[in-house]
Chain A
Amino acid sequence: MKGKVLLLGIGNPSRKDDGLGPALAARFEADCPEGVDVDANYQLSLEDACTLSEYEKVVILDASAKGDGAFTFEEVEPDPAKEFSTHLILPPSILSIAREFFQAEGLLYVLGMRGYDFESFEEGLTEVAAANLEESEAYLRGWLTEA
């Protein structure tokens, strides 16, 4: 039996702060609230549309290259606009596909954690990003108790 909520970390841990999503996913894997499933991958993929249909709520955990705060948390509206590359599928587009083809009824959220270094081919978060990870985790744990 699957949980009601899925936390889906997105990013490449070999590219510094791009690994914020998987890092937060790992935190939750280590200490996971009841009814919550956790997964992580390099990027969103077409079959995630199918996965979306199996949950009441899905939160995508991603790094963000923009923003003043430590993180943003928003509900995603479906948008069928498509991208120009198989290497980039955006949450609104995944949600559209999930609704149209896989009868998904759940809600999709994106937690975007501010990162700074996406270019170095190295493991590990920058210091500021690591602090943002802490704040994001605290927020998400709070949100999950209410969700």
Chain B
Amino acid sequence: MSIPVETSARKITIEPVTRVEGHGKVTILLDDDGKVQQARLHIVEFRGFERFIQGRPFWEVPVIVQRLCGICPVSHHLAAAKAMDIIVGVDELSPTADKMRRLMHYGQMFQSHALHFFHLCSPDLLFGFGSDPKQRNVLGVAAAHPDLAVQGVNMRRFGQEIILATAGKKIHGTGAIPGGVNKNLTIEERDKFLAEIPQMKEWALSAVAIAKNYTVENLSTVADFGTFPSNYMSLVRDDGAMDLYHGKLRAIDHNGDKLIDGAPYSGYLDHIAEEVRNWSYMKFPFMKNMGTEDGWYRVGPLARMNVVDFIDTPLAEVARQEFVALGAGAPVHVTMGYHWARMIELLHSLEEMERLLNDPDLQGDELVRTGERRSEAVGVIEAPRGTLIHHYEVDDNDMVTMANLIVSTTHNNEGMNRSVAKVANDYLSGVEITEGLLNHIEVAIRAYDPCLSCATHAMGRMPLEVELVGADGKQLDRKVKD
């Protein structure tokens, strides 16, 4: 079967099954004048998962959904658990349950951001993405900062151990259950973690410094790279503070004016709709009050820096202020700013963990609350990559009858396409995909840290493939990152 695709320039045909051969595929469409008309990033999105949970009892869902992703199972675990709290009629968790879950979440955030920074983005930031890609790799990092990877691995391990202590396992944990948690934190566990906090803080601060210095020193090239003005969305606490675990929906436009504010996320469907485009399996969410043309937005670390009024931990707040100064009163639209923002969140997560570990509520023993059963619920969390929405309906027999998940990467769909188009527009000359262009496209996508693990990752699937398609629909060039 094939689907005809209309474009303003011509009609081309894409075979659905071959649309995505690897992990990511980029199609750059040229117009009659040979200029970039559009870029399309195809990412394998999970499909069929909703069916997997339909007909299962609701209390299984927080455990089952972790099979979506080996990279951030905790985010799915918690988003589902938050929805199931509402299903069991619990609007407010016990302090112990709330704080254990938060600790789990910040552990997850910390390990995820540490991985991204040290493995993927530090070479770009230390050497500049314009430099020779042969230098701009882990060997270069080893030469310049021999301790960096060891720090990265250790920070990741710290986050993983927090997850282990709160969820019971690194993947397939069971810590969050409908209405609460199944364990608290022992004094021994707490003290072991507290002893490591100073070292982790030092490393987190130095990671922020690397990201900041790079961005500031190279602002002339970085500022415009894959950059465009956009709307932003995230959860925020009632007082406007960053809160990665819980809050209300806020969205701002490219000037920073609020489009949505103080909106309970249970009503997300009043604010957000998803557009289907026939060339992509991944949908394109947009704000209803703005329409499909102007209503798209970005989520994740950059969005959160722009959307929140402040960060409620001291070191990260100082870092945030330095970051937002870049926007001179308006939101920071710099796509490469995702990296710096991500490190500020790394530091914030560490500060939050320190605060939580010092809170005696973690040793409390009111773990679970109960209430009046409800039939429909939405759970939303700020996952490492952005807003994660889980929505369920449960029948009178306790079985899940409907599941709708909007993952962070889906919110960023339009943003990623625009970044790729911008980069292609700026760096494409002629009809050839040069090594440099391929690299630049990769750098742009990497800034968003898209989710791919919902897909599979067998060998032989191309990590990234870029094709150039002319106005007549013919492929002009194709490059595969090998």
Q: Is the CB of A65 within 8 A of B23?
A: no
Question: Closest Cβ of chain A: how far from B76's Cβ, in Å?
Answer: 13
With the chains together, A82 CA to B46 CA distance in Å? Answer: 24
Q: Is the CB of A42 within 8 A of B152?
A: no
Is chain A's binding surface mostly helix, strand, loop or mixed? loop
Q: Is the CB of A87 within 8 A of B453?
A: yes
- Knowing that A47-B157, A86-B71 are A-B contacts, what are 17 other residue pairs whose CB atoms are under 8 Å apart, sorted by A's residue number? A14-B52, A18-B457, A42-B71, A65-B458, A80-B137, A80-B138, A81-B133, A84-B120, A86-B115, A87-B450, A90-B463, A96-B139, A101-B150, A119-B47, A119-B456, A121-B47, A121-B49
* Closest B residue, CB atoms, query A80: B137
Residues on the A chain within 8 Å of B329, using CB: none
Q: Does B442 contact A (CB under 8 A)?
A: yes
Residues on the B chain within 8 Å of A46, using CB: 115, 118-119, 149, 152-153, 156
Q: Is the CB of B48 within 8 A of A120?
A: yes
Going nearest first, the 7 A-B pairs with the smallest beta carbon separation are A42-B70, A66-B460, A80-B137, A101-B149, A87-B452, A18-B456, A63-B458
Total residues of chain B contacting the partner, CB 8 A: 52
* Closest B residue, CB atoms, query A66: B460
Q: List B residues 115-149 near A (Cβ within 8 Å).
A: 115-116, 118-120, 123, 133, 137-140, 142, 146, 149
Q: Does A67 contact B (CB under 8 A)?
A: yes
Q: Which residues from chain B sit less than 8 Å from chain A, CB to CB?
A: 23-24, 46-49, 51-52, 67, 69-71, 112, 115-116, 118-120, 123, 133, 137-140, 142, 146, 149-150, 152-153, 156-157, 160, 171, 442, 445-446, 449-453, 455-461, 463-464, 481
CB < 8 Å neighbour of A97 from B51, B52, B149: B149
Supposing A42-B453, A121-B46, A121-B47 touch, asked if A67 and B458 sit within 8 A by C-beta, the answer is: no
Question: Closest Cβ of chain A: how far from B152's Cβ, in Å?
Answer: 6
Q: Which residues from chain A sit less than 8 Å from chain B, CB to CB?
A: 10-12, 14-15, 17-18, 41-43, 45-47, 49-50, 62-67, 80-90, 93, 96-97, 100-102, 110, 112, 115, 118-121
What are 24 A-B pairs at a CB distance below 8 A? A12-B453, A12-B456, A18-B458, A42-B171, A43-B71, A46-B153, A47-B160, A62-B459, A63-B459, A81-B133, A82-B120, A85-B452, A85-B463, A86-B115, A86-B449, A87-B453, A100-B139, A100-B142, A101-B149, A118-B458, A119-B48, A119-B456, A120-B48, A121-B52
